[in-house]
Structure 1
Amino acid sequence: MFDILMYLFENYIHSDMEVVVDHEDLTDELTRAGFPSQEIGKALSWLERLAELQDSQEKPYLMKAVPLSSFRVYTQEEEARLDRECRSFLMYLEHVGVLDFTTREMVIDRVMELDTAQFMLEDLKWVVLMVLFNVPGHEEAYTRMEELLFEEPEGLLH
């Protein structure tokens, strides 16, 4: 499923191509690209849920205001999916202003819905990018995240 999401993000959303809106056409194209139909359905549902999270005026899983001194406590399931490196990266993104508590929760929600056995930091970075792309008003955060994702280390590596 994650491969399909990456394919869609790289070929439609992240490029200058027009996004195909019709589910049938999109499903046909993904089938022609070699993706299994069951995984296509899961990926499209994942994207629909992301749109619902973004469109929803009521976000019952979010608090209206979060004190600056608060911190996120992860469930056992979340800790199993998001290792220490991933959780630290989410905290870093909040600290530098790329994520706020709303977008962080959207990212965690979407990560938890991924049907994947292995989940690594690179995968998390792409999920963050997909979420930020879909949330109006977060264009600057999207650009900063894109820079973090694609930046090349400078200087000599030992």
Structure 2
Amino acid sequence: MMDILMYLFETYIHSDVELRVEQDELEDELLRAGFHKKDIFKVLNWLEELAALRQNDAYSTISTSAATSIRVYTREEMKRIDLEGRGFLLFLEQVKVLTTETREMVIDRVMGLETNEFELDDLKWIILMVLFNVPGNERAYTLMEELLYSKEKGILH
């Protein structure tokens, strides 16, 4: 799934290609690119759920939590997001790249992935996708993009 998500993100977000593509057309393109139909369906469903999070007010109540509150991860979340990933999420909250709301959206989308292998680099891409899809996070998106692409220079993790 991550390969398809990264392909879509790089093809449509970081290019001048029109963002409004019909689902059938997108599915055909992904098939031509060599991805399997089953995986394409999972990714399209994952993206629909990401778009639905933006419409959902469930995360708006999080902003009323105390600034000193700590996120406690479930056993399933800890299996998917290792200690390094959880530390990275905390770091991004501390430097104001993530808010409590966007952090929860990231965790939701990580848990929505159907994959057994999940690494810190995958988490960084999910964070970037969430920030891109939530209006009002342009600054945070730019900062995250800089963090993601500056890893070659040895700046982060």
TM-score of the aligned structures, taking structure 2 as reference length = 0.93
Deviates more, 1:101-110 or 1:64-73: 64-73
Q: Which letter does structure 2 place at the counterpart of 1:76?
A: R
Map of 1:138 onto structure 2: 137
Per-residue CA deviation, residues 82-114 of structure 1 (Å, 9 max, x unaligned), is: 000000000000000000000000000000011
* Runs of 5+ unmatched residues, structure 1: none
* Runs of 5+ unmatched residues, structure 2: none
Q: Which letter does structure 2 place at the counterpart of 1:80?
A: K
Q: Which letter does structure 1 place at the counterpart of 2:53?
A: L
TM-score of the aligned structures, taking structure 1 as reference length = 0.92
How does 1:4-153 map onto structure 2 within 5 Å? 4-56=4-56, 58-59=57-58, 62-151=61-150, 152-153=152-153
Percent identity between the aligned chains? 57
TM-align CA RMSD: 1.6
Map of 2:3 onto structure 1: 3
Structure 1 segments, 4+ long, off by >2 Å, are 60-64, 152-155
Equivalents in 2 of 1:67, 1:22: separation in Å? 42
| TM superposition shift of 1:153 | 2.5
Per-residue CA deviation, residues 60-87 of structure 1 (Å, 9 max, x unaligned), is: 6953511111010000000000000000
| TM superposition shift of 1:15 | 2.0
Equivalents in 2 of 1:12, 1:125: separation in Å? 18
Equivalents in 1 of 2:32, 2:138: separation in Å? 33
Q: Which letter does structure 2 place at the counterpart of 1:51?
A: A
| TM superposition shift of 1:19 | 1.7
Decide whether the 8 Å contact of 1:133 with 1:139 is kept in 2. Answer: yes
Aligned length: 154
Q: Which letter does structure 2 place at the counterpart of 1:119?
A: F
Q: Which letter does structure 2 place at the counterpart of 1:89?
A: F
Decide whether the 8 Å contact of 1:98 with 1:141 is kept in 2. Answer: yes
Decide whether the 8 Å contact of 2:93 with 2:100 is kept in 1. Answer: yes
